[in-house]
Amino acid sequence: MQQKQKHATKLTLKTLVLAMASTAPASVLAAVDIDFYGSLRMQAEAVHPDSSAEFANGGNSSYSNIRDAYSRLGITANWQANDAINVFGQLEVPIDTANFKIQDPYDDRRDLRVAQVGVSGDFGTLAYGQMWLPFYNAISYKVDRFSTYYSGYATLAFFRAFNTVSYYSPDFNGVSFGAGAVIKDTSDRADTFDDNRYQFTATYNANGTDFSIGIEQVDDNKDTRLLGAALGQQIDNLYLGIKLEQSSAKGSADANVFNLYADYTFNDYTFKAMYADVDGFGGQIFHLGADYQYSKNLKTFIEFYQQESVNALAAEKAGGSGSFRNPLGDFEPDAKKGGGKAVAVGFRYDF
């Protein structure tokens, strides 16, 4: 979440969609399976900075307000070209319900979450566009299981990227592989990078055990690299997750990440807890929560979140990047610390 982002433009995507729709044969369009979906996620929160902490734009007053927790609207399309090949596409946009805008609640320059096309079959899945990355899917996702805005920050991995090619292999007796290449992009789009990035993951998933290792290699002059290993273990109603990451680059000290997560489901309730230690992005992090599954589509939740230094906490209705960037703490050498805590209650409605 902490990466430098660039402004997202809509014209290219809109033009592409219109062109595809206008040139596709009617028989093909009739055979396309189209699904619309959405998820409305909101929270009311009380945020309390530590006495030694300060927001990036100044001040350290506590506040209570509402915040979006990653609401989204999307559409998927699937076309079975033949018995062996399925062609698919997906478009998903963020809805910042607290600010009433089409933008990500972390970075207001993002107006796309996913925009990808691909093919799948017995050979696996090959896709291009803006998507979730293989390293996050295999490593970070195993401990990204909370419900509030504050879920998923205890990592050094990037979540999604534009201009990406990914491949996921079929399952070989529980063993599968993922690979991705993020192609450098000098445009003003969000989720782009100045250097090519290459990812590879290997996963074993069987009988409740989900173990993965992964690497991201950046094509720069610093040999920047991120290594990761994660285990998710389901034991009846108990889930345990452990994650390790190490980021290295020439001329810089290594940054290490450790996560220990657990949740337990009892009837319609799920109780969650995580401890994490993230070098350079949050320090020691404590996260507690409980979900209540009111119905198939509706979930309510309450969570407590605490960070030692700059990480997820931000000023009222602001985020960690973009024009409304105002996190608690900052990365400048002379910046005040970003320690603080938050309590949030909210709901999630999927449709």
Cα separation, 232 vs 274, whole angstroms = 13
Partnered with residue 108 across adjacent β-strands are: none
pLDDT on residue 138? 98
Q: What string of DSSP letters covers 58-100? A: S----EEEEEE--EEEEEEEEEE-SSS-EEEEEEEEEEBTTTT
CB 291 within 8 A of CB 299: yes
pLDDT on residue 331? 85
Cα separation, 345 vs 241, whole angstroms = 24
51-67 in b/e form (b: 16+ CB < 10 A) is: eebbbbeeebeeeeebb
Least confident of 79-93, 109-123, 188-202: 188-202
Cα separation, 70 vs 109, whole angstroms = 14
Amino acid sitting at position 121: G
Q: Is 60 a residue whose pLDDT tops 60?
A: yes
Amino acid sitting at position 318: A
Query: Could you give all domains of the chain from N- to C-terminal order, each with its CATH number?
Result: 11-350 (2.40.160.10)
325-339 in b/e form (b: 16+ CB < 10 A) is: bbbbbbeeeeebbbb
Q: What one-character DSSP code corresponds to residue 150?
A: T
3-state helix, strand, coil in the chain (%, to 5): 10, 55, 40
Map tokens 């680059």 to a residue. 249
CB 84 within 8 A of CB 55: no
Of residues 28 and 199, the one with the higher pLDDT is 199
Task: Read off the tokens for 280.
Answer: 């350079």
Q: Is 26 a residue whose pLDDT tops 70?
A: no
Cα separation, 282 vs 315, whole angstroms = 16
Average pLDDT over residues 132-147: 98
Closest CA to 59 of 329, 278, 317, 333: 329
Percent of the chain scored above 90 by pLDDT? 85
- CB-side neighbour CA atoms (13 Å) of 319: 25
pLDDT on residue 18? 54
Of residues 309 and 7, the one with the higher pLDDT is 309
- CB-side neighbour CA atoms (13 Å) of 64: 5
Cα separation, 130 vs 8, whole angstroms = 11
pLDDT on residue 24? 57
CA angle 199–7–193, rounded 5-degree value: 25
Helix (H, G, I), strand (E, B) or coil at 104: coil
Of residues 287 and 332, the one with the higher pLDDT is 287
- Residue 7, classified by CB atoms within 10 Å of its CB into exposed (0-12), middle (13-18) or buried (19+), is middle
Helix (H, G, I), strand (E, B) or coil at 17: helix
Of residues 321 and 10, the one with the higher pLDDT is 321
Average pLDDT over residues 123-128: 98
Encode pLDDT of 213-263 as tens digits.
999 999 999 999 999 999 999 999 999 999 999 999 999 999 999 999 999
